[in-house]
Amino acid sequence: MPPGMGQGGHGGRGYLTEEELANRPKVTGALLARIFSYLKPYWKQLVLVLVCIVVSSYFSLLPSILTGRIIDEGLIGRDLGQLIKLIILSLAVTLGANLIGVAESYLNTWIAQHITFDMRNSMFRHLQAMSQRFFTANNQGDIITRMTSDIDGVKTIITNTFTNILSNAVTLIVALVAMFQKNSILAFVGLLVVPLFTLPTRKAGKTRWTLTREAQAYNDEINGVLNETLSVSGQMLVKLFGKEDYEYKRYEELNRKMIGLNIRESMAGRWFRVVIVTFSSIGPMLLYLVGGILMIRYDQSLTVGDITVLVALLGRMYGPVNNLLNIQVDWIRSMALFTRIFEYYDMPLEIENPPDAKIPDEVTGTVRFDHVDFHYEPSRQILKDVSFTLNAGDCIAIVGPSGSGKSTMINLIPRLYDSTGGTVFFDGMDVKTLDLRWLRKNIGIVTQDTYLFNGTIRENLLYAKPDATEEDLVEACRKANIYEFIENQPDGLDTMVGNRGLKLSGGEKQRLSIARVLLKDPALLIFDEATSALDSISEKAIQDAIDPLIKARTSILIAHRLSTILAADEILVLQDGKIVEKGQHNELVALGGVYTRLYETQFSKAAQVPARTQSSDEEAVETMTSEHEA
Ligand code: ATP
């Protein structure tokens, strides 16, 4: 098979899916200029790469051209000296072309790596500045894909697409010029046979591509079955419903279809190769035939060497022609990739530091909501005209049915979201005028869904205060009522918490996150009590941890249990995003309204049933609240 034959025909590289075709991006001058702006800092290296490509492509064709002289002058002319000279020259040129190739790949990789380095860093910075809304609205997988494979794709474009276009174009042009210089009739014949070898290659590629995509679809399905059935909860379901045979059959059938497809896929390539090789040998034969007729009958100046050169050059055209035919595909893919990446860059930063952000000297942690409205989607108002004041050192408890907007309310204070109406004040100042970092530094939130990084307890604690001493850590853990647990671990503070802290129980995680917030030492402490069940011992441990804390500072509790509520100075009752009742426990119970109903169904029961088991269904119903999604 000629060199370069079959490139671009496999792996589907050369074909666009219907989806890709339908979503092909609009290539505008602005888009190109933007792409170019990433290349600009490296223009000197790029020029060097360009020179390398041109020189090495030209050099790599020279041996084919020299073959003619080796035959005519060396072999037929019986000149040993000339023969040796030409052979050495040919070898030297090949070596030179390859050495330049090495330099070119190095430069190319260097540029690509630096461009993706720049892109990754700026994308990471940009994403970190994106609002909470962005992260809740977008699939985590999508975000990671942009950061990883999309930007990796850019690297491939620079190292492959760019180089391929250039080197193929140069090779093709040099080969064509050399062929026409040797003999225009034969060059013309050579050109005519080009479609003979490119068409079957493309057809083979297309068939394989279709099969590969079919196989991929089955593969996804198989992975789905494996994921579903071999996961912890999936296996439990299978076992409890006695579905082992059913799942086995489902898997076996998919597996069987997959084998058939795989065999067909590899054979499709094999049969076509027979066709391709046959077709591709027609070209050289035709050149020998026409060349022979010309040489013997009509053109005395045409030599054996010339014909050999023409055949060799024709062989060198297969690869470039095939590759250049695929360039449109590469081009569309590249543009789509850049468009996807730029789409992320162009997303507005919803919550930004104000231009002349205030950084007050003192902080007390007071909060005031003044007729605050909020919605995630314009079609659904979540908070309606919420007003309340939290004075320094006081503690407010927010209670209300699940979905009434409690977590939403507290998210407005550190500006995870901005109110859509009214004003939120922190320390007497509109939060939108305060320095974001300062604001967030002074607010500590213990969420329901505690997030711990995969690492040790110590690392998780130090996240809040990198310069904390051992004593600081121990004190925080003691205050959070988690120190006893830590002491009992063989590795103490260096115990690994597992992925997302999964090696710890819900209660332990929450107490650890209380310790973490304590190290941060914020002026305002917000505690979003877990709705999920904790046994009474864990609950008491948490209660004992937070009681002294809320006495010591300004705080807000989202409460689900009577014991927590009773610790507060004032209770806000939220229903459908409105504060419907306000006051102290006894006053509210006497009112006989929403609070009374909550008290009767939820809080009092919770207080009466001390020994509750973790995560029983009954518990979930009792607490009336659903698991909060952070
Ligand atoms: P729970 O006690 O169950 O945690 P909650 O009172 O804290 O409930 P919120 O989490 O504030 O309730 O949610 C209030 C409403 O806003 C819910 O109906 C919820 O579906 C909706 N909501 C919450 N987060 C979003 C979001 N990111 N996008 C759209 N709607 C949301």
Domain boundary among the residues 346, 377, 396 is at: 346
Closest C-alpha residue for ligand 1 atom 15: 403
Same domain, 340 and 374: no
Residue 466 lies in a domain: no
Q: How many residues does the chain have?
A: 630
For ligand 1, the distance from its centroid to the CA atom of residue 326, given in whole angstroms, is 50
Is 561 within the bounds of a domain?
yes
First to last CA, the chain: 60
Looking up residue 37, the CATH number of its domain turns out to be 1.20.1560.10
Cut 0.85: pTM above it: no
pLDDT digits (tens, 9 = 90+) for 351-360: 888 888 889 9
Would the CB of 131 count as within 6 Å of ligand 1? no
Judge if 529 and 613 occupy the same domain. Answer: yes
Beta strand pairing call for 554-558 and 395-399: parallel
Max mean pLDDT among 170-179, 530-539, 621-630 falls in 170-179
Last residue of a domain, one of 317, 346, 375: 346
Residue 384: which H helix or E strand, with range? strand 380-390
Sign of the dihedral defined by the CA atoms of residues 481, 486, 487, 489, in that order: positive
CB 404 less than 6 A from any atom of ligand 1: yes
Residue 447 Cβ inside 6 Å of ligand 1? The answer reads no
User: What is the pLDDT, as a whole number, of residue 153?
Assistant: 83
Q: What is the mean pLDDT of residues 337-360?
A: 87
**CA distance linking residue 528 with residue 518, whole number of Å:** 15
Distance CA 262, CA 273 (A): 17
Name which residue sits closest to atom 29 of ligand 1, judged by CA.
Answer: 376
Say yes or no: CB of residue 56 within 6 Å of ligand 1: no
Kindly state if the Cβ of 113 falls inside 6 Å of ligand 1: no
CA distance 69 to 62: 11
Compute the mean pLDDT over every residue in the chain, rounded to the nearest whole number.
Answer: 83
Q: Is 575 in the pocket of ligand 1 (CB under 6 A)?
A: no
Please report, for residues 111, 230, 242, 265, 620, the alpha-carbon distance to residue 237 in angstroms, rounded to integers and kept in the order given: 52, 10, 8, 36, 20
> How far, in whole angstroms, is CA 423 from its chain's centroid?
36
Residues 89, 134 contacting (CB under 8 angstroms): no
Q: Is the CB of 625 under 6 A from ligand 1?
A: yes
| pLDDT score for 301 | 82
Count structural domains, the chain.
2
| Protein residue with least CA distance to atom 23, ligand 1 | 408
Which residues have C-beta within 8 Å of that of residue 23, sequence separation ≥ 6? 336
pLDDT digits (tens, 9 = 90+) for 79-121: 999 999 999 999 999 999 999 999 998 998 999 899 999 999 9
User: Do residues 126 and 31 both lie within one domain?
Assistant: yes
Are 533 and 438 members of one domain? yes
Q: How far is the CA of 387 from the centre of ligand 1 (A)?
A: 19
Q: Is 560 in the pocket of ligand 1 (CB under 6 A)?
A: no
382 Cβ inside 6 Å of ligand 1: yes
Tell me the pLDDT band of 65, cut-offs 50, 70 and 90: confident
**Residue 31 shares a structural domain with residue 118:** yes
The tens digit of pLDDT for each residue in 456-467 reads 888 888 888 888
Cα gap 521→476, rounded to integer Å: 10
Q: CB neighbours (10 Å) of residue 47? A: 10
- Residue at 314 is within a domain: no
**Domain annotation covers residue 562:** yes
Question: Is there a single domain that holds both residue 585 and residue 531?
Answer: yes
221 contacts 175 by C-beta, under 8 angstroms:
no
Report which DSSP code applies to 405.
S
Q: What pLDDT is attached to residue 332? A: 81
CA of 448 to the centre of ligand 1 (A): 13
pLDDT in tens, 402-448: 889 999 999 999 999 999 999 999 999 999 999 999 999 999 988 87
Please indicate, yes or no, if residue 246 is contained in any of the structural domains.
Answer: no
% of residues, the chain, pLDDT over 90: 25
Instruction: With cut-offs at 50, 70 and 90, classify the pLDDT of residue 534.
Output: low
292-314 average pLDDT score:
88
pLDDT band (50, 70, 90) for residue 248: very high
400 touches ligand 1 (CB under 6 Å): yes
pLDDT for 146: 80
What are the tokens at 290?
């026409």
Best probe residue, ligand 1, of 408, 602, 621, 626 (max atoms within 8 Å of C-beta): 408
Ligand 1: distance of its center to the CA of 66 in Å?
76
Ligand 1, atom 4, residue with closest C-alpha: 628
Can you tell me whether residue 363 is helix, strand or coil?
coil
Provide the pLDDT for residue 533: 56
Is the beta carbon of 408 within 6 A of some atom in ligand 1?
yes
CA of 408 to the centre of ligand 1 (A): 6
Nearest CA to ligand 1 atom 31: 376
Residue 316, ligand 1, Cβ within 6 A: no
CA distances from 302 to 182, 186, 270, 305 (A): 8, 10, 39, 8
Task: Give yes or no: residues 76 and 40 share one domain.
Answer: yes
381 lines ligand 1 (CB under 6 A): no
Residue 81 in any domain: the answer is: yes
Same domain for 132 and 49? yes
Report pLDDT for 532: 58
What is residue 357's predicted lDDT score, i.e. its pLDDT?
87
- Which residue's CA is the closest to the ligand 1 atom numbered 25? 376
Give the pLDDT of residue 624: 34
Nearest C-alpha to atom 3 of ligand 1 is from which residue?
402
Q: Strand 524-528 and strand 421-426: pairing? A: unpaired
Q: Same structural domain for residues 341 and 430?
A: no
Question: What CATH number did the domain enclosing 558 receive?
Answer: 3.40.50.300
What pLDDT shows up at residue 227? 79
How many angstroms is it from 263 CA to the middle of ligand 1?
52
- Does residue 478 lie in a domain region? no
Beta carbons of 509 and 485 less than 8 angstroms apart: no
Domain residues for the domain of 83 are 26-183+325-346
CA of 416 to the centre of ligand 1 (A): 14
Residue 333's pLDDT is: 79
Q: Is the CB of 136 under 6 A from ligand 1?
A: yes
Distance, in Å, from the CA atom of 622 to the CA atom of 603, rounded to the nearest integer, reads 9
Tell me how far apart the alpha carbons of residues 163 and 171 are, in angstroms, rounded to a whole number: 12
| pLDDT higher at 208 or 558 | 558
- 226-246 pLDDT, tens per residue? 878 887 778 888 888 888 999
Task: Indicate whether 54 and 115 sit together in one domain.
Answer: yes
Q: What is the DSSP letter of 474?
A: H
The verdict on 335 and 386 lying in the same domain is: no
* In a shared domain, residues 386 and 334: no
- With a cut of 80, say whether residue 40 has pLDDT above it: yes
The SS3 call for residue 386 is strand
The answer to whether residue 15 sits within a structural domain is no
